[in-house]
Chain A
């Protein structure tokens, strides 16, 4: 079989993988909303979800089962899925855009900006007994960070990989110092901040789903639609331009798309590590570097993995380890293992 026939066959394979992932995701979702301190059967969960979605009356189902499934577990599970999806897509985007397989959604400092915003909101809430929304603060500061990073990069020689990364690191460092300062100011109430930063999906509500879901879906669609331009960008600016790609515009589009994804994810979940680095990286190693395949598959796999990881933390530990700790704790060694199995791969 020659390369071209194999390519055609692989295209079909990728579609089947996508459907397979989708099936596993739906199955996991229904299982996840049933399992926990209050056990609800698979059929029962499915029925509650179905009746709720179709807007039918839930006459004979127990009210507390409905509340647990629909108001408590489902928002958390969905948040996990969309955050995982957003981080993995953002990771794929930043790796290609910066031409570095070790880039991740947090490389440009957007996440540190979000964490600073959230920290500030928590502090103000403590000091003045307010009830500011941490996610809104996080999202706004993530955006502010992006604008500052873009501004600095632009002034120091355009949106090149190096100037973007350097600007990201500097702003990230400043924001980090800000976070430390706020932690110090918070005194005894520091644990709320520490927990937020570690990344967790505990007690997320529908309002969080409504923040993260639309952003992730829209941004992922945009990322997918321009994926071939992103492929061409990996050839370098001059070649990309001579292939008819408007590199300035595509770079800006992807910087904003990737940062929106990161900002939305970090705002609802805190800083969850490794999903955005590993998922696109592994898929690229196993399947292909083609972003038209990588972006949708990374989105699905990232969503599934975070959903599973969050349920593992929920079920395995009574005290609830933050899921961000678990993903890094398990993801890191796994990544090392896979990486050492691939001796000839270049970083």
Chain B
């Protein structure tokens, strides 16, 4: 698979993170290029979410640095960072009864001055993204009355409206049904190819990760357990070592989990 050389987008070198004496992440290095779709996999408590929070600047690593292009993420201004990196988390809830449209429009914030009005071009883009994520039909519904899946669609759409170069999805599709997950992943994949968006996703659906990712990064106990193309990383050995299950691999198709060890 020798594609054209893509420019580096986000990279982290030798990241350490711990609370007191409890090590969460140890010596993590990760690189992702423009237009790539990377999945982060690993069992519960392996440090996936913490790594994402460090990558998008919500947490500072105890050691090591994260770079967006050539800039240190932890030193970027909040606004500038918001123009480059967006994160969607699993249980995104909004306490106040904003309509879906109002809630999604908040994604324009990093690109707007304090008293700017929204231009027709921006409205057009919001509408387009809402149609693509199937939230347009919900535009006048209060977000407080949405189902879990709908809420996740709205959160995803808001993050896309934010126009980031890097989109981090922390189990952002966990409550979508399988068809919707495939459709969303397909949409993201298209955006990667067309606009050079970089997607990094935490998936518990390993078949989905296998199918849609350009690269897989496996974490276990806060350490790297494999990094590379899906077919290189997701081996029977990895399933046994990282997830403690026995799996049968069907090359280029997916895998079947047989039983726990």
* Interfacial chain B residues near A28, Cβ < 8 Å: none
Checking B82, B96, B127, B136 against A242 with a beta-carbon cut-off of 8 angstroms, the contacting residue is B82
Please encode chain A, from 65 to 101, with 1 for each CB lying within 8 Å of some chain B CB and 0 for all others: 0000000000000000000000000000001100111
| Whole-angstrom CA separation of A262 from B43 in the bound complex | 49
Chain B positions 58 through 95: 1 when the CB is less than 8 Å from some CB of chain A, otherwise 0: 10000000000000000000111111011101001111
- For A98, the closest partner residue in chain B by CB is B95
When distances are taken between beta carbons in the complex, the residues of chain A under 8 Å from B155 are 239
User: CA–CA, A99 to B83, complex, Å?
Assistant: 26
Contact B145 A243 (CB under 8 A): no
| Residue with the highest number of chain A CB atoms closer than 10 Å, among B109, B139, B145 | B109
Which residues of chain A have C-beta atoms less than 8 A from B127's C-beta? Answer: 2, 4
> Which A119-173 residues have a C-beta within 8 angstroms of B?
none
In Å, the complex CA distance between A231 and B79 comes to: 16
Do the beta carbons of A242 and B56 come within 8 Å of each other? yes
Binary contact readout A226-240 vs B (1 if CB under 8 angstroms, 0 otherwise): 001001101110110
A182–B208 CA distance with the chains assembled, in angstroms: 68
- The answer for the CA separation of A278 and B136 in the assembled complex, in Å, is 31
Q: How many residues of B contact A (CB 8 A)?
A: 41
**Choice from A101, A236, A285 contacting B93 with Cβ under 8 Å:** A236
Q: Does A344 contact B (CB under 8 A)?
A: yes
Interface size class of A (residues with CB under 8 A): 20 to 34
What 1/0 mask marks residues of chain A from 194 to 228 whose CB sits below 8 Å from any chain B CB? 00000000000000000000000000000001001
- Cβ of B58 and Cβ of A346 under 8 Å apart? no
Check if B96 sits within 8 Å of A234, measured CB to CB. Answer: yes
Tell me if B140 counts as interface (CB < 8 A to partner A).
yes
Known: A3-B101, A244-B81. A232 touches B106 (CB 8 A): yes
Residues of chain B with a CB closer than 8 A to A245's CB: 78, 109
- B96 x A239 contact (CB < 8 A): no
Please judge, given known A-B contacts A243-B110, A344-B145, A346-B144, whether A234 and B95 are in contact too, CB under 8 Å.
yes
Could you show 20 A-B contacts with beta carbons less than 8 Å apart?
A: A4-B101, A4-B123, A4-B127, A228-B114, A234-B96, A235-B94, A239-B89, A239-B92, A239-B155, A242-B82, A243-B82, A243-B162, A244-B80, A244-B83, A284-B97, A288-B102, A289-B96, A290-B102, A345-B97, A346-B97
Instruction: Please name 8 further chain A to chain B contacts, defined as beta carbons within 8 Å, in addition to the given A2-B127, A228-B109, sorted by A numbering.
Output: A3-B139, A4-B101, A99-B96, A231-B102, A241-B57, A242-B81, A243-B109, A346-B145
Partner-A contacts on B (CB < 8 A): 53, 56-58, 78-83, 85-87, 89, 92-99, 101-103, 106-107, 109-110, 114, 123, 126-127, 136, 139-140, 142, 144-145, 155, 162
List the 5 shortest-distance A-B pairs measured between CB atoms, nearest first: A244-B82, A3-B139, A99-B95, A244-B79, A244-B110
Interface residues, chain A, with chain B CB atoms under 8 Å away: 2-4, 6-7, 95-96, 99-101, 225, 228, 231-232, 234-236, 238-239, 241-246, 284-285, 288-290, 344-346
